[in-house]
Amino acid sequence: MAKVLILAIVLAAAAAAAEAALPGRGVLGSGQEAPYRIHTLFSVECQNYFDWQTVGLVHSFKKARQPGPITRLLSCTDDELRSYRGMDLAPTMVVPSMSRHPKTGDWYPAINKPAGIVHWLKHSKDAEKVDWVVILDADMIIRGPIIPWELGAEKGRPVSAYYGYLVGCDNILSKLHTKHPELCDKVGGLLAMHMDDLRKLAPMWLSKTEEVREDRAHWATNITGDIYGKGWISEMYGYSFGAAEVGLKHKIDDNLMIYPGYTPRQGFEPILMHYGLPFKVGNWSFSKLDNHEDDIVYDCGRLFPEPPYPREVKMMEPDPNKRRALFLSIECINTLNEGLLMHHAARGCAKEKWSKYLSFLKSKTFAELTKPKLLKPKSLQTEETVKEKLTDEAARTYPKIHTIFSTECTPYFDWQTVGLIHSFHLSGQPGNITRLLSCTDEDLKKYTGHDLAPTHYVPSMSRHPLTGDWYPAINKPAAVLHWLNHVNIDAEFIVILDADMILRGPITPWEFNAARGRPVSTPYEYLIGCDNVLAKLHTSHPDACDKVGGVIVMHIDDLRQFAMLWLHKTEEVRADKAHYATNITGDIFESGWISEMYGYSFGAAEVFF
């Protein structure tokens, strides 16, 4: 009996030691024992579309060794539940569906997210045992443990990712829907917060979602940033406005989550992938919307089409940073497929026939490539260290410069390119120059000017992929954003020119007193929209609107913060056809042709006011 007791004590001690060794458990850096308990939540509906996403997320949850339990909030009607096949896909709490609003009759499935969380708080015993909550979307893959306090979350200070397109935080929308528009944060995707904050926020999140959804008078693209103008992102504004109402100010980390297809910042390891957008690797591509009705979860032996292997990716992309982005893309779909493979086996499907791809998914190589990623200290910079870094950079006498300009695959831009490149070399301009070449796949097949300049190829947005609007000028901000997301840039200042320019001498930041937070440009007085209703409609800081363009000298950190807003403001002004008139814009053609220039000025006013 004594031997048994001793053995039990030894085993208990070993188990406790093993638990303490798990990420997010054990002793904190301060030496204090971690009393924190984490619960991960995600919201779905009774559809095949969410079932395969659930398999991927839950599999990655286990693979990443995320601490604590995970709960799927399953929003279904009684009729849907009777025929639903996926109750075993995840630990689940069934919540009443609000896709069809019980009072207004409005069809808006996105409201199920806050409604499900409110229901969980009221009816789940687990909610009584939790200190921290991580809230994710179903279309995500976890790459490493998400520990709120390691991300810097505090009570009253949740952590989230930046969603720059939520322009309603800067205009009349926030003033209408929250008493504290100055607290409105453009955040979403990943949410890590203390339970006390969630209890205050959740009812307000739901209420504000209903409020914004009912405000049809302000669904327009130029007010919400919703390219469809249908109030589809009301739930996201419900979150931001609700958080502002209860006084939550977010810590925003833009390096924790990444969309496959985008290039991560050098030195940062994203711990979450959000495959909400289409992405491709070579000739292989994936889009979640192409699999909306897919019952792949219930179809034994079927996986999503296999992507290229790591060895093939190494051969197709010589640039190490771009190659890193491609590796993330194939990791995303391979993890999804690995989850499906294990799910099929658990459901009693017949053993899969051997294939090269199945062998790879079960290999030690794949296991090593996808082992849990841990946060590095570099991902958790404090405001003080950022300030120190900026001070050091400002002290340098001659920072590195990179010059860029935007063109399309046409002879019209080719002869301009020759002139600009020739003058660049004669002028003594420091640093490198890159042409951002916006082309469709068809254009590229017949294009002959590849050797005219060092080139970064970007997808053409001349025909807007969502609205169908023909507006080639939008390629400039779209190309700059693409370049930032796909190139490893070591320059500190970027000089942005137009193709129809000739350099007569070097354009340097030190000569014109450019600094971080203080870009330099040239006056364009005809941009009269900075002085009238146009600026008041499209920026919350019309007094900061500058009539500038042509030459732009900007710090790389500012450009990273600003580029997405430049693109969104361009889309917003372009969509505002009611204010195309010459007396409002200064555009003599009254066609919205200079929307991109206003997109720059209005975006800059938002960032540099």
CA dihedral of 52, 58, 62, 67, whole degrees rounded to 10: 160
Is pLDDT above 70 for 527?
A: yes
Is pLDDT above 60 for 333?
A: yes
Q: What is the pLDDT of residue 390?
A: 41
CB atoms within 10 A of CB 243: 28
Q: Where are the alpha helices (DSSP H) in 396-506?
A: 411-427, 441-446, 475-486
Q: In this structure, are residues 151 and 192 in contact, taking their beta carbons and an 8 Å threshold?
A: yes
Is pLDDT above 90 for 16?
A: no
Q: What is the DSSP letter of 46?
A: S
Q: What is the pLDDT of residue 11?
A: 35
Q: What is the pLDDT of residues 138-195, one digit of tens each?
A: 999 999 999 999 899 999 999 999 888 899 999 999 999 999 999 999 999 999 999 9
Q: What is the pLDDT of residue 428?
A: 85
Is pLDDT above 90 for 263?
A: no
Is pLDDT above 70 for 442?
A: yes
**How many CA atoms, within 13 angstroms, populate the side-chain half-sphere of residue 180?**
13
| Distance in angstroms (rounded) separating the CA atoms of residues 170 and 517 | 19
Q: What is the pLDDT of residue 200?
A: 97
Q: What is the pLDDT of residues 543-569, one digit of tens each?
A: 999 999 999 999 999 999 999 999 999
Going by pLDDT thresholds of 50, 70 and 90, the confidence category of residue 376 is low
Is pLDDT above 60 for 475?
A: yes
Rounded to an integer, the average pLDDT of 303-327 is 93
Closest by Cα among 255, 218, 224 to 240: 224
Residue 536 tokens read as 């008041």
Q: What is the pLDDT of residue 379?
A: 42
Which of 44-48, 103-107, 201-205, 372-376 has the least mean pLDDT? 372-376
Rounded to an integer, the average pLDDT of 390-408 is 71
Q: What is the pLDDT of residue 32?
A: 29
